[in-house]
Amino acid sequence: MSWLLKSSIGRKFIMALSGCCLVLFLLFHMCMNVVSIISIEAYEAICGFLGTNWYAVLATGGLALLFIVHILYALSLTLKNKKARGNDSYAMSSSLSSVTWTSKNMFVLGVVVLVFLLLHLYDFWFKMMFAELFNLHDIVVLPEEVGGHMAMLFGSPVKVALYFIGIVALWLHLTHGVWSMFQSTGLNGRTWYPRLKCIGNIVATIICLGFLIVPIFFLAKHFLCGAC
């Protein structure tokens, strides 16, 4: 099992596996969020069901561990690649001119996504699960209050703009990450390469459109209600 830690292939496999789990979570979370624009009562019911139950706390811990592993392995691969290029980094970048901007800046995009995630965690998880777990009554948002909290939060154009930037960065990260995830398993021939690129673009677009439509919906609702 040491090859998972020491070899480049092993690290890429761990990156792919953790990335796959995170993409599945994003799909679930996106579907859950879309429910809020169909029925806020149903969304609040889902939040109440997840709540601070032991399985929700356990799942949160598991996701945090996956994310940390993904970041650490990404950092390891980035530093290893940079060290391998050494003084020939300019020549290397010139020879790889056909490589997309996204693939060359995956780590930077990952940092932007991380900042966006921290903002999102503060806006929701910290004020919901964390505050309830530690009895922070002054800031806690209960499941039945989530609808009002989202309306207040996404009624701010600045907040929606920040979310838009984060989701665009997530889209760029996923368009490369999803097909790269499959490529790491060996599906990298001429036949599969365009198919995987297409699948990556479709999955990334579905996820990010699902996330983006929610703040836009609440912002539009805010302005329409204000004009009434």
Per-residue pLDDT of the chain (228 residues; tens, 9 = 90+): 555 666 777 777 888 888 889 999 999 999 999 999 999 999 999 998 888 788 888 999 999 999 998 888 888 777 777 776 665 544 444 444 456 777 777 788 888 999 999 999 999 999 999 998 888 888 999 989 999 999 999 999 999 999 999 999 999 989 888 877 776 666 666 777 788 788 889 999 999 999 999 999 999 999 988 766
| Predicted local distance difference test score (pLDDT) of residue 86 | 61
Question: Whose structure tokens read 């209960």?
Answer: 142
Domain extents for the chain?
A: 7-85+103-227
Does CATH place domain 7-85+103-227 in 1.20.1300.10? Answer: yes
Q: Closest Cα partner for 147 from 40, 5, 72? A: 40
Cα angle for residues 207, 209, 212 (degrees, 5° grid): 110
What integer pLDDT is reported at residue 82 of this predicted model?
73
19 and 29 in contact (C-beta within 8 Å)? Answer: no
CA distance 182 to 164: 27
Q: How far apart are CA 53 and CA 59, in angstroms?
A: 10
What the block records as the tokens of 2 is: 């040491």
* Residues constituting the chain: 228
pTM, rounded to two decimals:
0.85
Question: What token pair was written down for 183?
Answer: 């490529």
* Among 180, 173, 161, residue whose Cα is nearest residue 15: 180
Of 37, 40, 35, 31, residue with least CA distance to 144: 40
